[in-house]
Amino acid sequence: MTALYEYRKKKGLTQRELSKQLGVTQPTITQYENGVRKPDIVTLKKLAAILGCTTDQLLEPIEI
């Protein structure tokens, strides 16, 4: 599970509801949540605003 999935669930949104608010397709949300695709910075900022968190909280930890 990704942070995006966890924050979406906490907010009580379905993938479809989030996709409509974000202006993308539901499969795009699925790809973001499965780590197949990463949102660009503008989309990431919109996601954070919708989900009530920071962009840093949505990003997965970087392993060094």
Annotated domain spans of the chain: 3-58
Please tell me the least confidently modeled range out of 29-33, 52-56, 57-61: 57-61
CA atoms within 13 A on the CB side of 18: 28
Numbers of helices and strands, H then E, in the chain:
5, 0
Dist. CA 5–CA 39, nearest whole Å: 13
Instruction: State the Cα–Cα distance between residues 20 and 56, nearest whole angstrom.
Output: 23
CATH fold, domain 3-58, is 434 Repressor (Amino-terminal Domain) (1.10.260)
Tens of pLDDT, residue by residue over 21-37, are 999 999 999 999 998 99
Yes or no: say if 45 and 57 are a contact pair by the CB < 8 Å rule: no
The average pLDDT across 31-48 equals: 95
